Copies of this chain bind each other. A is one copy, B any other.
Amino acid sequence: MSRAVPDTHGEILAAAARRFAVAGYGGTSLQDIAREVGCSKATVLYHFANKEALLAELMAPAITVLQDLDDQLTGLTGTAAQKAAAAGFVDLAVRFRREIALLRGEFPVLLCQPAFAHIQQISERLRDAFAGHSDRPGARITALVLLAGISEACAEFVDIPDDELRPALLALVLRALEPVDAPLPQPPTTEDKEL
């Protein structure tokens, strides 16, 4: 049988995920992680170049999916962009809520680090899509409220099953989003804008 192959690497990863979720990235020391695994801090740093590399490996799957979503949103405008962004982000947030919980408000600090710089750009494009690429303050405010709120809710409601959380969030978003390209009483004359 598969008798106790150590897999220290994986154990460290799992322990780090648990600690980060409780105390955040900044609030968790390498010593904490080592203690949880039952090894020395030096062992943690033998398996991972540094603390940031640990976080990066933990976040990698979520980041990949986030980039895919970003690709899918390119070219979409108006309500189409809003709906696609809403469905895509809600699904992503629900699936990776453990990863979102890891960062718990440390987004602003972590995104400043060069290793995560491109994430910031993606999140700005995502917010823009949520606003239907409108620059109306109402649309921009709504987009930010929803994106931040969804992240927080997913990090908080770890006990609710995906199939319950996802539709509830999606319904909320569709209810709350400002329609962006349909407030005009007579729209046909404005389509030359696209050309």
Contacts and interface: CB of A to CB of B under 8 A. Distances in A.
A26 B145 CA distance: 24
A144 B137 contact: no
8 contacts: A104-B105, A104-B108, A105-B105, A138-B171, A141-B169, A142-B168, A145-B172, A148-B151
Interface residues of A, number: 36
B164 A172 contact: no
Nearest to A169: B141
B172 A175 contact: no
A108 B175 CA distance: 29
Contact of A152 (B148, B176, B178): B148
Contacts of A157: 141, 144
B145 A153 contact: yes
A59 interface: no
A156 B172 contact: no
Contact of A105 (B107, B153, B156): B107
Contacts of A148: 148-149, 151-153
Task: Tell me the number of copies of this protein.
Answer: 2
Contacts of A142: 168, 172
B156 A109 contact: no
Interface of A: 23-24, 26-27, 104-109, 137-138, 141-142, 144-153, 156-157, 160, 164-165, 168-169, 171-172, 175-176, 178
B149 A109 contact: no
Contacts of A168: 137-138, 141-142
Contacts of A137: 160, 164-165, 168
A171 B179 CA distance: 13
B153 A109 contact: no
Contact of A146 (B105, B109, B149): B149
Contacts of A26: 26-27
